[in-house]
Every structure is written in structure tokens, then in C-alpha cells.
Amino acid sequence: GAVVSQHPSWVICKSGTSVKIECRSLDFQATTMFWYRQFPKQSLMLMATSNEGSKATYEQGVEKDKFLINHASLTLSTLTVTSAHPEDSSFYICSARESALNSPLHFGNGTRLTVT
Amino acid sequence: AQSVAQPEDQVNVAEGNPLTVKCTYSVSGNPYLFWYVQYPNRGLQFLLKYITGDNLVKGSYGFEAEFNKSQTSFHLKKPSALVSDSALYFCAVRVRYNTDKLIFGTGTRLQVFP
């Protein structure tokens, strides 16, 4: 079945540095990918919609200069957390869907970011 | 606005007993509803979806869900729970028919005791 690979699975970084998270669709092409953020014991909050070849669409309240999204190919979207701070520590999950009608979203295994 | 509610933070059930995880929705128009499961430190795995057709939807791992339009509910069910079913379950609704944007419920932690 369709697989979405997310890398790294976890990362620890110092405050002020930037971290890049990759999301790849391994066996299908995805013109659209989604980035979610999940706080401990909470639901997933949609951060942005990543569109191949164009700018991402950010949800209200999400800083686009803070969370840079690049979707340069049909199989890769990246989320860069710039100048990370401890409050950015969270679980970040990407998702993508095959092009077949009514196929479901497939999720990556997530990236746990810890900013010290 | 579209929304889903999962009224129970946690559901406890003994292994072998039937389980139900509740979900109610609020949408304008026809609902597109989903159930996902999340294991610790992992992404979400798709279980099943309702788009149209039969109200009883069968999904992965023996799970099923019943769409009830009059009660605006989409409860997840399984006839006989397994300890390995213990996980976090999310109900979700598609924002519009022509988008993949999903709104998730707050999640229900299912604990199956041996």
C-alpha cells in the first residue's frame, strides 16, 4: 500500500537553530501534502497545506516565516522550523494522498522535535 | 464550520468484549468521515471511511463504524477487543468534498485489559 516516509523520527536541537523535516511519498505522487502538529495528549492541528510547485497555504495563527514549507517535487515536501525555541517542541506529522478517487490520506510516522 | 466530537477521553474494555468509541459530527452538506488509529510515537494509520453508500462501514483489523445521519454519529466498533487494539483513536471529517483537509477530534484512548 501507499507509504509516506518522514525523516528524522526524532531530533533534538538547541534554541535558535533551524531544523528540517522531510516527508516523502514512496510509491505514489502527491501534489498536495499536509503538515500537522500534535501536542502531548492532544489532537492533530493542521498547520499548512503544501502544494507542489507553489506556495504553501498556512492555517490561521501559523507563522509562515517560522515554519517554512517547500514542496519542490511530487514526492517530497519539507518543513523547516526556523530559529527554534522550546515552545516549538512538539510532534510533527505529515500526510499525503494518492491520486485515485476517494483514496485515504496516508500519514508519516511523525517527527518528535525537542528544542533545548 | 465542520467539526467532530469525541466525548470520551478514554475507553476501557476487557479483552474479548465488544468495544465502541464514540464520535459525533457537525457538517454542512454530506459528511466525509474517517477513523484513524495512532500508536505511541507513530503517525496515524487509516482504519476506515464513510463517503456514501452503506451505513455500516468495515475497515482494517476487524473494526467497523456505523454512520447514523439522524444522530449525526459515526461510532467505531469491534465485536471482540484485543489487547493489541490499545491505542489512540481519532475521528475526522473532511472540510469540504473537494479537499483533503481533515478536522480531527480530540482523540479517545482505548485501553484493552487482558
Per-residue pLDDT tens for B36-59?
999 887 888 999 999 888 899 999
Assess whether pLDDT exceeds 70 at residue B97: no
Bridge partners, residue B26, by sequence: B3
The whole-angstrom distance between A36's CA and the closest CA on chain B is: 10
**Which positions of chain A have pLDDT values less than 70?**
1-2, 100-102
Assess whether pLDDT exceeds 90 at residue B65: yes
- In this prediction, residue B1 has a pLDDT band, given cuts at 50, 70 and 90, of confident
Q: What is the rounded distance in angstroms from the CA atom of residue A97 to the CA atom of residue B32?
A: 15
The answer to whether B41 contacts A97, with C-beta atoms less than 8 Å apart, is: no
Chain A residues in contact with B34 by the CB 8 A cut-off are: 104-105
- In this prediction, residue B94 has a pLDDT band, given cuts at 50, 70 and 90, of confident
Chain B residues in contact with A37 by the CB 8 A cut-off are: none
Assess whether pLDDT exceeds 70 at residue B100: yes
Question: CB of B91 within 8 A of CB of B74?
Answer: yes
Q: What is the rounded distance in angstroms from the CA atom of residue A34 to the CA atom of residue A56?
A: 9
pLDDT at A39: 82
Cα angle: B18, vertex B21, B26; to 5 degrees = 145
Name the amino acid, one letter, at A98.
E
CB contact A92 to B (< 8 Å) = no
Bridge partners, residue B10, by sequence: B109
